Amino acid sequence: MNRREVIVGATSAVLGFAVADVAKCSEGKEDGFLKRLTEVRSATKFTNQPVAEDDLQKILEIGVNSPSALNRQPWFFAAVTDRRLLAEIDQAAKIKAGRLSLTGTPTVIFVCGDDTNYARFDVGAACDRMSVTAILLGYGAKVVASPCSVVNTEFKDRLGVPEKYNAYAALLLGVEEIPSVDGVSGATLRVPFEEKVSRVKG
Ligand SMILES: Cc1cc2nc3c(=O)[nH]c(=O)nc-3n(C[C@H](O)[C@H](O)[C@H](O)COP(=O)(O)O)c2cc1C
Ligand 1 centroid vs 19 CA: distance in angstroms? Answer: 34
More confident residue, 26 or 74: 74
Q: What angle do CA 188, 6, 133 make, to 5 degrees?
A: 55
Contact between residue 144 and residue 16 where contact means Cβ atoms under 8 Å apart: no
CB of 158 shorter than 6 A to ligand 1 = no
CB of 144 shorter than 6 A to ligand 1 = yes
**Which residue's C-alpha comes closest to atom 7 of ligand 1?**
144
Q: Which residues pair with 177 in a beta bridge?
A: none
Write a three-state SS string for the chain.
CCHHHHHHHHHHHHHCCCHHHHHCCCCCCCCCHHHHHHHCCCCCCECCCCCCHHHHHHHHHHHHCCCCHHHCCCEEEEEECCHHHHHHHHHHCCCCCCCCCCCCCCEEEEEEECCCCCHHHHHHHHHHHHHHHHHHCCCEEEEECCCHHHHHHHHHHHHCCCCCCEEEEEEEEECECCCCCCCCCCCCCCCCHHHHCCCCCC
pLDDT in tens, 9-56: 444 444 444 433 433 333 555 668 888 888 889 998 899 999 999 999
Ligand 1 nearest-atom number relative to CA 168: 1
How far apart CA 73 and CA 87 sit, in angstroms, is 30
What is the structure's pLDDT at 17? Answer: 45
What is the structure's pLDDT at 4? Answer: 44
What is the structure's pLDDT at 11? Answer: 46
Lowest mean pLDDT among 138-142, 170-174, 193-197: 193-197
Helix axis angle for 119-136 and 3-15, nearest 10°, is 140
Lowest mean pLDDT among 46-60, 94-108, 139-153, 157-171: 94-108
Q: Can you give the residue ranges of every domain in the chain?
A: 1-39, 42-177
What is the structure's pLDDT at 35? Answer: 85
Ligand 1 nearest-atom number relative to CA 44: 26
Mutate to test the pocket of ligand 1, among 128, 142, 196 (most ligand atoms within 8 A of CB): 142
Q: What is the mean pLDDT of residues 84-102?
A: 88
CB of 44 shorter than 6 A to ligand 1 = no
Q: Does residue 61 surpass a pLDDT of 70?
A: yes
Q: Does residue 184 surpass a pLDDT of 70?
A: no
CB of 42 shorter than 6 A to ligand 1 = yes
What is the structure's pLDDT at 2? Answer: 41
Q: Does residue 74 surpass a pLDDT of 80?
A: yes
- Residue % of the chain over a pLDDT of 90: 65
Domain 42-177 carries which CATH code? 3.40.109.10
